[in-house]
Amino acid sequence: MLFRNSNTIKFVLGVIALFGIMYAWWLTLVASIILSVRYRAWEVPVFGLLLDFAWYAPDLSFHWPICTAISILIVWVFEPLRNRLFTRS
């Protein structure tokens, strides 16, 4: 039951993140942070990559695709927190 609820939560957050890629990037960021805090979400780096694929171009004031970098950072930075809060001691 709890496993099914977790899948539902991940699915809803994933849909919100995908919606954010098309409409509002901050939705993707918020959903990614929530997913990363709660789960080892492999989807988060994919969302960051999709954001860059959709909106990044080389000739910008941002010289690197920072969304991909930030999404990878977010999901790995929360690893110690996930280990402490969500695994058996």
Contact residues toward another protein (CB under 8 A) are 2, 6, 20-25, 39-43, 45-46, 48-62, 65-68, 71-72, 75-76, 85-88
d(CA 20, CA 16): 6
Q: Residue 41 CB, nearest distance to another protein (Å)?
A: 7
Q: Residue 25 CB, nearest distance to another protein (Å)?
A: 4
Give the closest residue to 62 by CA, choosing from 51, 72, 73.
Answer: 51
Nearer to another protein, 31 or 39 (CB): 39
Q: Residue 73 CB, nearest distance to another protein (Å)?
A: 10
Nearer to another protein, 12 or 22 (CB): 22
To the nearest 10 degrees (0 to 180), the angle between helices 79-86 and 25-38 is: 50
Contacts of 9 (CB under 8 A, 6+ apart): 38
